[in-house]
């Protein structure tokens, strides 16, 4: 249903979308698999057509505890229509740290992070960890063999990571990573 919207926006904004298809349901499920009863609020960034959003809600996050950050106005309009009880924010994820949200335990990202210039990556990652409570998790997938955050940005933000199960049924296959602050 949302594939035509995705494809049309991909043609118009290839740099900010930077993917040949929306995430598969299997990848979306993996991205939401770290959610537990004690996660607190969740912020999703780069939600696109809402594939991962649906799995975050299915994992038990109440709609009012989910904020959705997306900079593309067409995707935002679709997200607002699909998820009227979530907090949909049309904004650049670089301003995450300024959001007036409390008790955020996880940021789940569908951003094409490695195609984003390093200083912008840094702003997004710093903002995400400034926003989250201590022990907060930043979940991000990548299609490539390396971690999806540049080494300099990982170092500047003092991050460690683990990988989840690789999702082969995705175009292309993708690996979800979970980043946390070094303890
Ligand atoms: C590859 S698409 C992912 C869509 C969806 N999450 C999925 O997995 O299918 C990347 C999305 O990130 C959004 N995006 C890119 N840069 C952004 C930024 N700086 N702030 C907010 N959204 C951004 C794009 O508009 C696009 O919707």
Q: Give tens-digit pLDDT for 8-23.
A: 888 888 888 777 788 9
Q: Are strands 66-70 and 41-45 parallel, antiparallel or unpaired?
A: parallel
Ligand 1 cavity residues, CB under 6 Å: 16-19, 22-23, 45-48, 51-52, 69-72, 75, 92-94, 110-112
Q: Domain containing 122: what range? A: 3-181
Q: Give tens-digit pLDDT for 112-170.
A: 998 999 999 999 999 999 999 999 999 999 999 999 999 999 999 999 999 999 999 99
Provide the number of structural domains found in the chain: 1
pTM of the model: 0.95
The pair of three-digit structure tokens given for residue 74, joined into one six-digit string: 């067409």
Mapping DSSP to helix (H, G, I), strand (E, B) and coil, where does residue 152 land? Answer: helix
At 77, which CATH number? Answer: 3.40.50.150
Give 7 or 107, the one with higher predicted confidence.
Answer: 107
The pair of three-digit structure tokens given for residue 102, joined into one six-digit string: 């409390």
Classify residue 105 as left (phi > 0), alpha (psi -120 to 50) or beta. Answer: alpha
Mapping DSSP to helix (H, G, I), strand (E, B) and coil, where does residue 114 land? Answer: helix
Cα 74 to averaged position of ligand 1 atoms, centre (Å): 12
pLDDT of amino acid 158:
98
* Residue 181 near residue 157 (C-beta atoms within 8 A): yes
pLDDT of amino acid 5:
85
Mapping DSSP to helix (H, G, I), strand (E, B) and coil, where does residue 163 land? Answer: strand
Return the residue whose CA atom lies nearest to atom 27 of ligand 1.
48
% of residues, the chain, pLDDT over 90: 86
């Amino acid at each position: 249903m949302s594939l035509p919207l995705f494809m049309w926006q991909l043609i118009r904004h290839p740099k900010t979308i930077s993917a040949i298809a929306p995430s598969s349901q299997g990848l979306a499920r993996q991205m939401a698999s770290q959610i537990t009863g004690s996660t607190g609020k969740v912020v999703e960034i780069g939600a696109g057509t809402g594939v991962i959003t649906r799995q975050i809600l299915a994992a038990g996050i109440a709609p009012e505890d989910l904020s959705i950050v997306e900079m593309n106005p067409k995707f935002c309009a679709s997200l607002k229509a699909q998820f009227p009880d979530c907090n949909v924010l049309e904004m650049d994820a670089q301003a995450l740290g300024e959001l007036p949200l409390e008790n955020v335990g996880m940021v789940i990202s569908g951003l094409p992070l490695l195609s984003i210039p390093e200083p912008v990556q840094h702003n997004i990652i710093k903002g995400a960890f400034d926003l989250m409570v201590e022990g907060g998790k930043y979940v991000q997938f990548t299609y490539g063999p390396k971690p999806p955050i540049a080494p300099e940005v990982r170092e500047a933000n003092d991050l460690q990571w683990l990988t989840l199960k690789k999702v082969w049924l995705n175009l292309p296959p993708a690996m979800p990573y979970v980043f946390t602050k070094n303890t």
